[in-house]
Amino acid sequence: MGEQGKRVAVFGAGYVGLVTGACFAELGHRVTVRDVIPEKIAILERGEVPIYEPGLDELLERNRQRLTFTTDVGEAIDGAEFVYVAVGTPPTFSGDADLSAVWTVIDELPPVDHRIVVAMKSTVPVGTGAKVRHRLDARGLGHVGYVSNPEFTAEGTAVKDFMEPDRIVIGSFDQVDADAVAALHEGIDAPIVRADVASAEMIKLAANAALMTRISFINEIANVCEATGADVVKVAEGIGYDRRIGNSFLRAGVGFGGSCFPKDSLALKQLAANSGYHFQVLNAVIEVNELQKRRVIGKLSELLGSLRGKRIALLGLAFKPNTDDTREAPAFVLAGRLLAEGADVVAWDPIASSDGLHGVEQVTTVEEAARDADAVVLVTEWPQLRDVDWPAIVATMRRPVFVDGRNMLDPGAMRGAGFTYDAIGRAAPTG
Ligand code: UDX
């Protein structure tokens, strides 16, 4: 490795950029990660990691020799054979993806005279690659290659998802660039899907849309289960054995959040709309998810009456376990709704913070959160919640109401412990 390694510049030291950089270093390449935020670079230079992502700290540590961090574009590009773009593409007010950070990277590229390949990791609308190609050509950089190489890494398992992916997608204008990027992934055992740039861009958006569709679908099945007395956990198991359906992404709950799904669904919806197409299924998926995040409020109102002055404990703030990320987290929507109803909200999370949630009291233990609460809502399925001594908690609550927003705990055991236990898409509480 090492000596044969390629020189890779990664623009953006966020989740995607850091994981990409660390994994390419692990594959033997020499990587420079560049970010515009000096504090972030300083943290990385000190050997610390500015985000929580399991395995990332070890990977960065192990490959320290092959990794450098900088704010300087020239230093990042110097000698680089590949320039990975891993900057944020947040939604604008219109729902389109904001590509200003992407354009900054492209426009800041110094006029190199050797052949380099620009690889797009950021999620971008279909057609972006063609625009980048045009812009590079206009600057006389026709010799700079371009590929779309989307990421499919989920937070919490990003390192594993990068090193052991289901597939690697490479969209290119020129076969030579696709070959080079494929070679860069040598050491990873996965099928490579080669495509034109537009199709590669769409693969990313369509994959996310398919996953979100499954979640909203099972959430709607859950809601009908509640109305009809069926149990969505059993239903998901029963349909999941069908190989045509498969059993992943069929967990009903309080809806999806995170940095990708909500943003990417809006971007795809807007992309379709801009081309004059009304994407009906996707619109429904988004709407179902918004309603799902608020459904727990209805359950609490049914169990507690007015929520004014009621103390509600939220267990979990992160949008899913094993991450400190609270972007678009259902817990934040729930907290906002509860506060608006006049409830007192107390929250626990092992690593995520309630920063930005004004009026929410954050505590450090589940026991503290539940003490004197009128209801506990399990929002994020942190594994440690399985080991809590729930029977001991019942007695400390003002009212033993428990809403399991992730169907994580055993209904029989929770009811046996004395809880008025409700979940998502399972038989209604018996009181
Ligand atoms: C997702 C995609 O999985 C990844 O491929 C893409 O690159 C980025 O977006 P991520 O947002 O990190 O990754 O998390 P993921 O594990 O996919 O979960 C997304 C949301 O869906 C979470 O809020 C999770 O709780 C929810 N979810 C997931 C469900 O509600 N039910 C499920 O069955 C699965």
SS (HEC) of the chain: CHHHCCEEEEECCCHHHHHHHHHHHHCCCEEEEECCCHHHHHHHHCCCCCCCCCCHHHHHHHCHHHEEEECCHHHHHCCCCEEEECCCCCECCCCCECCHHHHHHHHHCCCCCCCCEEEECCCCCCCHHHHHHHHHHHCCCCCCEEEECCCCCCCCCHHHHHHCCCCEEEEECCHHHHHHHHHHCCCCCCCEEEECHHHHHHHHHHHHHHHHHHHHHHHHHHHHHHHHCCCHHHHHHHHHCCCCCCCCCCCCCCCCCCCCHHHHHHHHHHHHHHCCCCCHHHHHHHHHHHHHHHHHHHHHHHHHCCCCCCEEEEECCCCCCCCCCCCCCHHHHHHHHHHHCCCEEEEECCCCCCCCCCCEEEECCHHHHHCCCCEEEECCCCHHHHHCCHHHHHCCCCCCEEEECCCCCCHHHHHHCCCEEECCCCCCCCC
Query: pLDDT (tens digit, 9 = 90+) per residue, 135-194?
Result: 999 999 999 999 999 999 998 899 999 999 999 999 999 999 999 999 999 999 999 999
Write the residue with the smallest CA distance to atom 34 of ligand 1: 249
Write the residue with the smallest CA distance to atom 7 of ligand 1: 152
Lowest mean pLDDT among 86-100, 216-230, 282-296, 329-343: 86-100
Q: Residue 54 pLDDT > 80, yes or no? A: yes
Domains within the chain, CATH numbers bracketed: 2-196 (3.40.50.720), 227-423 (3.40.50.720)
Q: Residue 431 pLDDT > 50, yes or no? A: no
Q: Residue 430 pLDDT > 60, yes or no? A: no
Q: Residue 112 pLDDT > 90, yes or no? A: no
The one catalytic residue among 260, 314, 334, 414: 260
Q: What is the pLDDT of residue 1?
A: 45
Pocket test for ligand 1, best of 16, 215, 424 (most atoms within 8 A of CB): 215
Write the residue with the smallest CA distance to atom 22 of ligand 1: 256
Choice between 260 and 398, residue whose per-residue pLDDT is larger: 398
> CB count, 10 Å around CB of 334?
27
- Entry pTM: 0.93
Write the residue with the smallest CA distance to atom 5 of ligand 1: 152
Return the ligand 1 atom nearest residue 250 CA: 33
Q: What is the pLDDT of residue 428?
A: 64
Cα 288 to averaged position of ligand 1 atoms, centre (Å) = 16
The yes-or-no answer on residue 260 being catalytic is: yes
Choice between 254 and 1, residue whose per-residue pLDDT is larger: 254
Q: What is the pLDDT of residue 86?
A: 98
**Which has the closest alpha carbon to 14: 58, 44, 59?**
44
Write the residue with the smallest CA distance to atom 17 of ligand 1: 154
Cα 116 to averaged position of ligand 1 atoms, centre (Å) = 33
Lowest mean pLDDT among 220-224, 387-391, 425-429: 425-429
Cα 45 to averaged position of ligand 1 atoms, centre (Å) = 31
Mean pLDDT value of segment 209-233: 97
Cα 431 to averaged position of ligand 1 atoms, centre (Å) = 33
Give the chain's mean pLDDT.
95
Query: Which residues lie with the beta carbon below 6 Å from any ligand 1 atom?
Result: 151-155, 208, 211, 215, 249-251, 253, 256-258, 260-261, 319-320
Q: What is the pLDDT of residue 91?
A: 87
Cα 249 to averaged position of ligand 1 atoms, centre (Å) = 8
